[in-house]
């Protein structure tokens, strides 16, 4: 809000912002200005009852590894876009997450993926939607950002562009995993045509945010979408301001959850707008968007968010969210459940 027309209210907003304390949620709102990497691997109904100790160990291990290797890029002076792309690429290559190799199946038994990467410096982005043959959709999104005049390419047009850019193209069979196939069969037993409420329980979308040494924010998200989704369904992940957003003046955001609700609520941009126009600090803006606005409309999910000073927030209204951050001290901090 830079209209200059309401100096008194602006001053009041600024004063109130200073008075508002950081969000007290667990595993969140650590204050650590400087280079920072934040990641998520999806939100959902994960609870200690449902996850075996072995599976929990696997998730904690890979989240720590993603944070450490992505942070090394920032420590060496690399850019935030590079760190975000690298972190997401590792998660895409793991069968543990619903992105790349571990993508879920559509109603037609295919794997259709969406991804977006956004630079907070230029507020420019690249995205691909409904792609089936690109090994790393986040790399294709980066190529759209850097080598096209467009923001979003969908379907075979996106695949043709990725091939022209020399990216790795794979047979769709590469994305087959027994676990995801079984999940589709189970979902189909309940409903043959559309995802039902029961199928929304887990959102394995992956995302990353980085703040580099030059003060540039970047955000990225990659997903296989929803198990049993309709052929051609595009969710929030590749939509600027819905599942992903970055703006050096405000914040970077990546979301995971019921994509349709994230799109209708403009979740990513809404955090930024509440900071810019209503003067809220990051933690309060993120809390309001997830716990008041998304929850109020009946949507489920969570976000990771980071402001230009490296403050972070990771609110979610599901039982858990795979998430973590690493900052100037270089120690990865990883969380799964709501009470950590």
Q: Is 205 a catalytic site residue?
A: yes
Nearest approach in angstroms of CB 334 to a second copy is 32
Q: How far apart are CA 249 and CA 162, in angstroms?
A: 31
254, 304 Cβ separation under 8 angstroms: yes
Pairing of strands 124-131, 152-154: parallel
In the complex with a second copy, which residue's Cβ is closer, 63 or 263?
A: 263
336, 46 Cβ separation under 8 angstroms: yes
In the complex with a second copy, which residue's Cβ is closer, 149 or 178?
A: 149
302, 313 Cβ separation under 8 angstroms: no
Contacting residues toward a second copy, per CB under 8 A: 1, 3, 5-6, 8-9, 12-13, 16, 20, 123-125, 129-130, 148-158, 160-161, 194-195, 229-235, 239-242, 259-260, 263-266, 269-270, 273-274, 277-278, 280, 284, 288, 297
Q: Which residue has the tokens 């090394």?
A: 72
In the complex with a second copy, which residue's Cβ is closer, 126 or 320?
A: 126
Ranges of beta strands (E only) in 32-164 are: 36-44, 113-119, 124-131, 152-154
In the complex with a second copy, which residue's Cβ is closer, 66 or 145?
A: 145
Q: What is the DSSP letter of 205?
A: -
In the complex with a second copy, which residue's Cβ is closer, 162 or 314?
A: 162
Catalytic residue (choose from 36, 132, 133, 205): 205
- Dihedral sign (CA 71, 73, 77, 81): negative
Structure tokens at 115: 């991804």
Q: What is the DSSP letter of 196?
A: -
Structure tokens at 50: 């449902």
Residues whose CB falls within 8 Å of the CB of residue 165, separated by 6 or more in sequence, listed in order? 140, 143, 147
Residues whose CB falls within 8 Å of the CB of residue 21, separated by 6 or more in sequence, listed in order? none
Positions marked active-site: 205
């Amino acid at each position: 809000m830079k209209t200059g027309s309401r100096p008194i209210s602006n001053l009041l907003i600024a004063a109130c912002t200073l008075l508002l304390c950081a969000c007290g949620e667990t595993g969140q709102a650590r204050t650590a200005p400087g280079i920072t990497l934040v990641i998520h691997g999806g939100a959902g109904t994960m609870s200690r009852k449902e996850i075996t100790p072995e599976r929990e160990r696997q998730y904690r291990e890979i989240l720590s590894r993603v944070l450490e290797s992505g942070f090394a890029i920032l420590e060496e002076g690399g850019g935030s876009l590079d760190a975000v792309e690298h972190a997401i690429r590792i998660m895409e290559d793991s069968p543990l997450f619903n992105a790349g190799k571990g993508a879920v199946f559509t109603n037609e038994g295919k794997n259709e993926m969406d991804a977006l990467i956004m630079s907070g410096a230029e507020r420019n982005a690249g995205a691909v939607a409904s792609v089936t043959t690109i090994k790393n959709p986040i790399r294709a999104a980066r190529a759209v950002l850097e080598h096209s005049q467009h923001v979003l390419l969908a379907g075979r047009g996106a695949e043709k562009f990725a091939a022209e850019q020399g990216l790795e193209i794979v047979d769709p069979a590469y994305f087959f995993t027994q676990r995801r196939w079984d999940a589709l069969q189970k979902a189909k037993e309940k409903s043959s045509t559309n995802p039902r409420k029961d199928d929304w329980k887990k959102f394995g979308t992956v995302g990353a945010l980085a703040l580099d040494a030059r003060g540039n924010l970047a955000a990225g998200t990659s997903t296989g979408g929803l198990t049993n989704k309709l052929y051609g369904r595009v969710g929030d992940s590749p939509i600027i301001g819905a599942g992903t957003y970055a703006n050096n003046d405000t914040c970077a955001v990546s979301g995971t959850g019921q994509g349709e609700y994230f799109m209708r609520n403009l979740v990513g941009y809404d955090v930024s707008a509440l900071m810019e126009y209503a003067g809220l600090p990051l933690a309060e803006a993120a809390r309001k968007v997830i716990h008041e606005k998304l929850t109020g409309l009946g949507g489920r999910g969570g976000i990771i968010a980071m402001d230009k000073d490296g403050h972070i927030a990771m609110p979610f209204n599901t039982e858990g969210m795979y998430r973590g951050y690493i900052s100037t001290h270089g120690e990865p901090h990883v969380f799964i459940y709501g009470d950590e």
